[in-house]
Amino acid sequence: MSVGTRPKGRRATTPASRPPAASAYVSGAASEAVRPTIEAPRRPARVLAVLPLALYLEIRSEAEPHVVAVVTGEATRLPNAVLLAERLGGVSAGDDAWVGEGSVEVGGVSICVRRWWDPAPPLGPADPARLAPALGLLGRVRAASPRRPGLVPDGAPALLDRGCRSGSLVESITAAERLIGLGPGLTPSGDDMLAGLLVALRHLGAAAGAPRAVWLADWLAAAVTYDARTRTTPISATLLHCAARGEASPEVTGVLCGAAGHQPLEPAVHRLLRLGHTSGADLAWGVQIGLAAVLAHREGR
């Protein structure tokens, strides 16, 4: 992290339209998912939550993403994240912030975004012979892990699995609507499961030549994001919008790459399962449902 005084030559501001001048500036990298938000005209925001390795800013906007995560290198690189080398101190929930014109200002620091990464990298063609073994391995690693999902297998999760495998929109959307916001935490378990499912259907469906799975992802994405803001937490709603576009953390995309046969799968599954209290397990469960659906629709071509 490079810290110094604010560069000269910035336009004069007024309290009514701009925050007080930041005392320092740092360089950061950010996800392409938040690029439209960060490069838009500057807008006020507030600190929604502060965690040991991340803080979340809620922007006063009707567009998505309306929550931006500011994270350090040790934290999960969420698809809506701005990445810093070191943690920002002295920031509390409820503090004012500003986002736009290429920077994020919070806690007296202006974060100037200099680099961008793609949260939805294309997988490339999948190895058809690896799909079924990958599904079996993913299921075995999940079953043996001490990290358990936040939901029980029956009910909406079972309906979602059955609907996605059969390609039934009625069953899939009914289950998805029941899962939105289900469970405790900043990202409820039902939302994490849906996020894993959406990115798996979209990326693995395209990589494995299963257009029916991509079609299902489109319909589920529309249903899940329609009223996400009123059904779940602000942080989780933004992550659902990201997943609907195929955007995810490297831990999730690593499992997709492993399932497609481009890298070892088991280490990637273990990395994903370590996320959060139940988030990793819930995401992995969603990916497993998506992979099973892709395999079913590919075999049924």
Range(s) of the domain holding residue 193? 128-299
Q: Does residue 16 lie in a domain region?
A: no
**Per the omega criterion (within 30 degrees of 0), is the bond before 65 cis?**
yes
Q: How many CB atoms lie within 10 A of CB 42?
A: 18
For the segment 205-262, what is each residue's pLDDT rounded down to a tens digit?
A: 999 999 999 999 999 999 999 989 999 999 999 999 999 999 999 999 999 999 999 9
DSSP string, 59-90: ES-SSS--EEEEEETTS---TTEEEESSPPPS
User: Does 237 share its domain with 162?
Assistant: yes
User: Does 279 share its domain with 136?
Assistant: yes
For residue 255, CA distances in Å to 33, 47, 163, 206 come to 20, 32, 23, 15
CA angle 279, 231, 31 (to 5 degrees): 55
| Nearby residues of 265 by Cβ (< 8 Å), 6 or more positions away | 134, 137, 138, 255, 258, 259
* pLDDT confidence of residue 4: 39
pTM for this entry:
0.90
For the segment 4-23, what is each residue's pLDDT rounded down to a tens digit?
A: 333 333 333 333 445 555 56
Query: How many domains are there within the chain?
Result: 2
Domain termination site, one of 87, 117, 147: 117
In eight-state DSSP terms, residue 56 is E
User: Does 98 share its domain with 142?
Assistant: no
Query: 247 is written with which tokens?
Result: 């955007």
3-state secondary structure of 96: strand
Long-range contacts of 3-11 (CB under 8 A, 24+ apart): 3/109, 6/110
Q: Does residue 1 lie in a domain region?
A: no
User: Does 196 share its domain with 275?
Assistant: yes
User: Does 284 share its domain with 151?
Assistant: yes
Q: Does residue 149 lie in a domain region?
A: yes
User: Does 78 share its domain with 157?
Assistant: no
Query: 155 is written with which tokens?
Result: 């009910």
Pick left, alpha or beta for residue 181 (phi over 0 → left; psi -120 to 50 → alpha; otherwise beta). left
Residues found in the chain: 301
Give the residue carrying structure tokens 């002295």: 90
Q: Does residue 17 lie in a domain region?
A: no
Mean pLDDT of 124-133: 95
3-state secondary structure of 112: strand
* pLDDT confidence of residue 166: 96
Query: 173 is written with which tokens?
Result: 């959307």
Mean pLDDT of 70-87: 92
User: Does 273 share its domain with 135?
Assistant: yes
User: Does 61 share its domain with 164?
Assistant: no
Domain termination site, one of 59, 82, 117: 117
User: Does 145 share its domain with 53?
Assistant: no
User: Does 45 share its domain with 107?
Assistant: yes
Q: Does residue 71 lie in a domain region?
A: yes
User: Does 250 share its domain with 177?
Assistant: yes
Q: Residue 293 and residue 7: Cα distance in Å, rounded? A: 53
Which of 166, 196, 176, 178 is closest to 283 using CA atoms? 196
CA atoms within 13 A on the CB side of 129: 0
User: Does 109 share its domain with 138?
Assistant: no
3-state helix, strand, coil in the chain (%, to 5): 45, 15, 40
Q: Which amino acid is at 146?
A: P
Domain termination site, one of 60, 82, 117: 117
Give the residue carrying structure tokens 């810290």: 3
| pLDDT class of 185 with cuts at 50, 70, 90 | confident
* pLDDT confidence of residue 19: 54
Q: Does residue 13 lie in a domain region?
A: no
Q: Does residue 2 lie in a domain region?
A: no
For the segment 238-248, what is each residue's pLDDT rounded down to a tens digit?
A: 999 999 999 99
Contact 280, 189 (CB under 8 A): no
Q: Does residue 14 lie in a domain region?
A: no
Contact 82, 34 (CB under 8 A): yes
